[in-house]
Amino acid sequence: MARRPLPRILSSGSAQIARSREIARTAADSATDVLHPLITITRGLRQLAATARHKWAGTPKERRGPALFLVAACVLVVALIPYGPLVALISVMAAAAWKGRVRTPVKTGPDEAETGRLQALYEALVPYFSVPEDPAPLFAHGGDWAGAFSDYEFDGNGRITRLRVKYPAYFTDGEAESRSRIEQLLHAKSGRGREYHFAWDEEGNQLLLSVLPALSTSIAAQRFVAVPGETVLGFTDADAVQRTVPVTEGEETRDAPPVIWRTGPRSTEPHLLVAGQPGTGTTTLLRSIALQALQHGDVLIVEGSGTGEYACLTGREGVLAVESGLAGALASLEWGAHETERRLIAANRARQAGQAAPEDTKRPLWILLDRPSIFGHLAAADGHTDPQQLLQVPLRHGRAAQVTVVVAEQFDSVDSLTETVRTHTRARVVLGPATFEQLESVLGMEPHTTPTADVPPGRGYARLGTGPVLRLQVPATPDPYDDATSEAHRQAVLELLPERVEAAAPDPVPAEG
């Protein structure tokens, strides 16, 4: 019975020993901090001496005499040079300090927390990457993740930023639904609130997950380096396109990768459709397109919302009209249809006569239509023609007549767009938060990234024809008359506006009698 307190005594003694060791370790660390330079130099001198002994032991005996004579000669020369011994001493101390420095060990693998994340992600993928008939499954409950995961990286918070997943060859990676399930799972398990990019290698049965950096929102409206017929819709990731343009971002100038939309007779996607939620930047994109189009052509703007977002363009050179009423919209779009027909007839007659097309048919004409669904409801109530019906001629024949149509609509009214608009607007842009279903309905395919719920204005995706889906950030092009606009952005837009066209003075009315 007297031996029962022994474990407590041993435990108390062990605790005292542990505390003593901790105190001694703390004292040693303090002494190391104080004597760190001396310890470093001493360690370096020992390493230099060991290196010298190793070199001397490896020198053949017949060469030791000449080597010793050469060293003695060097020492004699240094001793005879003014301040030679001092310089030699400083050099030796510097070499010893460099040789004896403490090198940070290179991390060769994940730590315990990162290993736990990788193992949890591995277990979550088992139901998708395994079948009971597989005799040697790559993914199995309780299996080793090292055979399936490689090229992994983590951020400071321990979340995955890059991961290469090897999956079995029988996985149906050719089906969009199968890939979508894996992407959604990896998105949820790797951490929400970030945008991931998924690169599928069907030939190698590998999937590369990487976290995409946020696109810059500080690029304002400016003169972009582009030839006539090229319009910069915005900017994307550096590895998504093969071209860069110089841009001014704040007070610095750098090269940025643009999303360039090409129009004209040789364009395969001569017309553009923009969709998004309210306040996501659809009007900003149309305003940016208008400022770029006015460099080489004329612009006709029809605004369905009637909020005056394009008032800064009214009365400017090259701006044919800015209409926000139903009557003005119908008249402007009807003129646009007749102008398209006139250009086609004039160009056709010139070709038949063996002459060049008239100059007035070569100047680009842009028709920008913002929210046409509002005009459709008003026209139906008044018994008028839907303004979208007047777009058939510019959409069908605009490419040959140098007429470009841009239509912007909100998601809740996209279904009201006519079949002609949907068919001929092969360049597509989606701005703001959107589900995969909304993105696929507008763009024709889902992006290889995970859209986030909170995005800045002007942020979205673009797809030109049958090309890939690209991330997009529209340059900041706000209404300069808006009080909430910053002074820098206001001045950037005002500098791009053309000169005002003075209205002709009315003829004087003769006085009576």
User: Which residue carries 């070709």 as its tokens?
Assistant: 351
Residues paired with 235 in a beta bridge: 258, 473
Residues paired with 301 in a beta bridge: 322, 368
Tens digit of each residue's pLDDT (9 = 90 or more) over 124-163: 999 999 999 999 899 999 898 999 998 899 888 888 999 9
Tens digit of each residue's pLDDT (9 = 90 or more) over 439-492: 999 999 888 888 777 889 999 999 999 999 999 999 999 999 998 889 999 999
Q: Last residue of some domain: 211, 238, 259?
A: 211
Spatial contact of 24 and 75, defined as CB atoms under 8 Å apart: no
Q: Is 404 exposed, middle or buried (0-12, 13-18, 19+ CB in 10 A)?
A: buried
**Are 178 and 307 part of one and the same domain?**
no
Q: pLDDT tier at 426 (50, 70, 90 boundaries)?
A: very high
Q: How, if at all, do strands 403-410 and 427-431 pair?
A: unpaired
Spatial contact of 261 and 288, defined as CB atoms under 8 Å apart: no
CA distances from 256 to 18, 248, 339, 454, 477 (A): 59, 10, 37, 23, 17
Spatial contact of 203 and 173, defined as CB atoms under 8 Å apart: no
471 compared with 30, residue with greater pLDDT: 471
Spatial contact of 246 and 255, defined as CB atoms under 8 Å apart: yes
Mean pLDDT, residues 186-199 taken together: 88
**Are 444 and 352 part of one and the same domain?**
yes
pLDDT of residue 11: 35
Q: What are phi and psi of 165, to 5 degrees?
A: -110, 125
- Encoded tokens for 191: 């951490």
Domain residues for the domain of 334 are 230-496
Q: pLDDT tier at 28 (50, 70, 90 boundaries)?
A: very low
Does residue 87 fall inside a structural domain? no
Q: What are phi and psi of 212, to 5 degrees?
A: -90, 135
Strand spans (E) along 341-497: 365-370, 403-410, 427-431, 459-464, 470-473
Q: Please, where are the H alpha helices in 206-325?
A: 282-293
**Are 163 and 299 part of one and the same domain?**
no
**Are 245 and 167 part of one and the same domain?**
no
**Are 162 and 271 part of one and the same domain?**
no
Q: What is the largest CA-CA distance in the chain?
A: 139
pLDDT of residue 13: 38
Q: Give every CB contact of residue 513 below 8 A, 6+ residues apart in sequence.
A: none
Q: pLDDT tier at 4 (50, 70, 90 boundaries)?
A: very low
Does residue 165 fall inside a structural domain? yes
- Encoded tokens for 242: 């093969």
Does residue 29 fall inside a structural domain? no
Tens digit of each residue's pLDDT (9 = 90 or more) over 487-504: 999 999 999 999 998 754
**Are 277 and 341 part of one and the same domain?**
yes
Q: Which of 64-78, 228-242, 330-344 shows the lowest mean pLDDT across its residues?
A: 64-78
**Are 187 and 278 part of one and the same domain?**
no
Does residue 468 fall inside a structural domain? yes
Does residue 7 fall inside a structural domain? no
Does residue 75 fall inside a structural domain? no
Tens digit of each residue's pLDDT (9 = 90 or more) over 310-346: 999 999 999 999 999 999 999 999 999 999 999 999 9
**Are 160 and 241 part of one and the same domain?**
no
Neighbours of 152 (CB within 10 A): 19
**Are 204 and 250 part of one and the same domain?**
no
Does residue 173 fall inside a structural domain? yes
Q: How many domains does the chain have?
A: 2
**Are 289 and 408 part of one and the same domain?**
yes
Spatial contact of 417 and 274, defined as CB atoms under 8 Å apart: no
Q: pLDDT tier at 52 (50, 70, 90 boundaries)?
A: confident
Does residue 12 fall inside a structural domain? no
Question: For residue 271, what is the domain's CATH number?
Answer: 3.40.50.300
